[in-house]
């Protein structure tokens, strides 16, 4: 599929064609696929129908050009093998616009191209959009007829069927079977002996039909529960749903296959006591996504993590998970970083403190848990110091910059130890204009003092920071954070 890049041109003297200066709309940018004229015109008609300015001034028609032998000759076509040679189509479709007050009744399927049409003033005000012509797009109907049709034997003469644009968009459909062509027996590209001629990705009218079906499933199936065959119990809610739709989720498909079906309806229970991240709202949005992607419109920063958790639990909805994950990532800010730090602390991780821990695949978030952990880490190390202006030189430092350092300390005082260690030890973590090791060391000492009164209090562990001299010369990190368990006091008991 390609986009038609030719620009439409206006005639030098519009008064020749119209009693008033009625310029036709320029050819908009729409997908174009050679040999699929009816679909190209369909997409153009959709574009014009959605433009209130066009529909206010113009009537729109799809014009089918064919004959009883399905051999119509058109000149000035792109696919002509040589200049001044015609192209013989089985049929061809163009779009016609004309001012609202005119009457097009004289142009119908019974009129040949050159002999049967009287070129009255009403037709001179009509404009043709033909994606396959070498004439201007659009051009007047008079110019199009003169440039596209010549005197030909009867089997190549053209007949016209004119269809109102709204009717065309509502009722036209095609299975593309007319686009099949035979291939040589030795052609290895086809086992059936037939191949399509470079079709577009999917018929536009098919997309519209599919959207109607999905909308019906969502509103009549998910929202109202019509013709339900499955009752799903979760939290305190009962959903009246449909097994064929629920089977899109591997999790729900397993529950249905292992749940007895009594009477006419199947009953399944989803227990979320051990999954606090899956909220009632998040589960409902993910459940609705099994019926329709309209659920994506309900994802907001405040519920994105719950939707992601529910999507990961149910499975089979990667698009929903990616969308909600992106909403989570974009929601990380100075105002929300505290909550994200608390969330990261709940994700299972290793305890040696040597590296940024990986999230076990048993976590409900799966790989998205590690991605969120990495996002929080990069925000803490790279983005947050810049937002808080702690990297400004003293001459440019403002009161907001000094206040920003206090905020940064407060945030780092609540960061889980493994991430705190990795972040502060990273040379990318800059808390002064030069990014010096001494500045990071001083920051770490202040943060650890705060941590002793907060996150590290009562843990039985002691955190310390060490500045290794010479460590900044390519020999490793200069700032080292360690944690060790405090020794329990020993009491001597006299016998």
What positions carry a catalytic annotation?
37, 92, 130
Host H or E run for residue 200: none
Host H or E run for residue 331: helix 318-331
Distances (CA, A) of 128 to 4, 16, 63, 147, 329: 16, 16, 9, 12, 49
Phi, psi at 372, each rounded to 5°: -65, -40
Cβ(196)–Cβ(179) under 8 Å? Answer: yes
Nearest Cα to 178, choosing from 203, 213, 161?
203
Distance CA 465, CA 99 (A): 80
Tokens standing for residue 19: 């009693």
Cβ(482)–Cβ(464) under 8 Å? Answer: yes
> Which residues, listed in sequence order, are joined to residue 267 by a DSSP beta bridge?
231
Q: Enumerate the H helices of 189-291 as residue ranges.
A: 204-216, 243-246, 250-257, 280-289
Phi, psi at 167, each rounded to 5°: -65, -40
For 183, residues 6+ apart whose C-beta sits below 8 A from its C-beta are: 189, 190, 193, 194, 195
Distance CA 487, CA 44 (A): 78
Cβ(299)–Cβ(264) under 8 Å? Answer: no
């Amino acid at each position: 599929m390609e986009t038609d890049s030719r620009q439409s041109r206006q005639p030098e003297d519009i008064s020749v064609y119209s009693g008033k200066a009625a310029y036709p709309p320029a050819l908009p940018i729409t997908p174009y696929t050679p040999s699929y004229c009816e679909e190209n015109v369909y997409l153009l008609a959709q574009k014009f129908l959605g433009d209130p300015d066009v529909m206010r001034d113009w009537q729109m028609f799809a014009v089918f050009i064919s004959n009883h032998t399905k051999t119509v000759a058109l000149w000035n076509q792109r696919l002509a093998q040589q200049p001044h040679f015609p192209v013989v189509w089985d049929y061809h479709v163009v779009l016609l616009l004309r001012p609202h007050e005119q009457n097009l009744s004289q142009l119908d399927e019974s009129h040949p191209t050159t002999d049967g049409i009287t070129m009255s003033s009403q037709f001179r005000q009509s404009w043709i959009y033909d994606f396959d012509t070498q004439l201007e797009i659009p051009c007047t109907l008079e110019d199009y007829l003169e440039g596209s049709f010549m005197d030909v034997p009867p089997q190549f003469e053209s007949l016209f069927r004119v269809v109102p644009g709204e009717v065309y968009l509502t009722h036209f459909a095609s299975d593309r079977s007319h686009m099949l062509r035979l291939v040589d027996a030795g052609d290895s590209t086809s086992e059936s002996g037939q191949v399509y001629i470079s079709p577009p990705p999917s018929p536009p009218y098919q997309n519209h039909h599919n959207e109607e079906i999905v909308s019906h499933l969502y509103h009549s199936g998910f929202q109202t529960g019509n013709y339900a065959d499955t009752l799903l119990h979760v939290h305190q809610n009962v959903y009246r749903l449909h097994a064929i739709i629920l089977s899109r989720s591997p999790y729900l498909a397993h529950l249905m296959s292992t749940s007895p079906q009594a009477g006419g309806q199947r009953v399944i229970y989803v227990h979320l006591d051990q999954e606090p991240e899956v909220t009632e709202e998040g589960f409902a949005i993910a459940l609705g996504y099994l019926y329709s992607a309209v659920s994506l419109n309900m994802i907001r920063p405040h519920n994105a993590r719950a939707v992601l958790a529910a999507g990961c639990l149910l499975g089979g909805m990667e698009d929903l998970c990616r969308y909600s994950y992106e909403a989570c990532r974009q929601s990380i800010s100075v105002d929300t970083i505290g909550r994200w730090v608390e969330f990261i602390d709940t994700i299972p991780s290793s305890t040696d403190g040597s590296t940024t821990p990986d999230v076990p695949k048993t976590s409900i978030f799966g790989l998205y848990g590690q991605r969120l952990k990495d996002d929080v880490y990069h925000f803490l190390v790279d983005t947050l110091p810049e937002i808080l202006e702690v990297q400004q030189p003293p001459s440019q430092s403002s009161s907001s910059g000094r206040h920003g350092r206090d905020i940064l300390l407060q945030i780092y005082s609540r960061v889980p130890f493994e991430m705190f260690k990795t972040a502060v030890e990273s040379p990318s973590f800059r808390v002064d204009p030069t990014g010096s090791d001494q500045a990071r060391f001083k920051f770490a000492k202040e943060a650890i003092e705060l941590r002793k009164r907060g996150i590290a209090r009562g843990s039985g562990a002691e955190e310390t920071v060490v500045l290794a001299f010479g460590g900044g010369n390519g020999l490793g990190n200069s700032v080292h954070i360690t944690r060790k368990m405090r020794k329990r006091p020993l009491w001597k008991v006299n016998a």
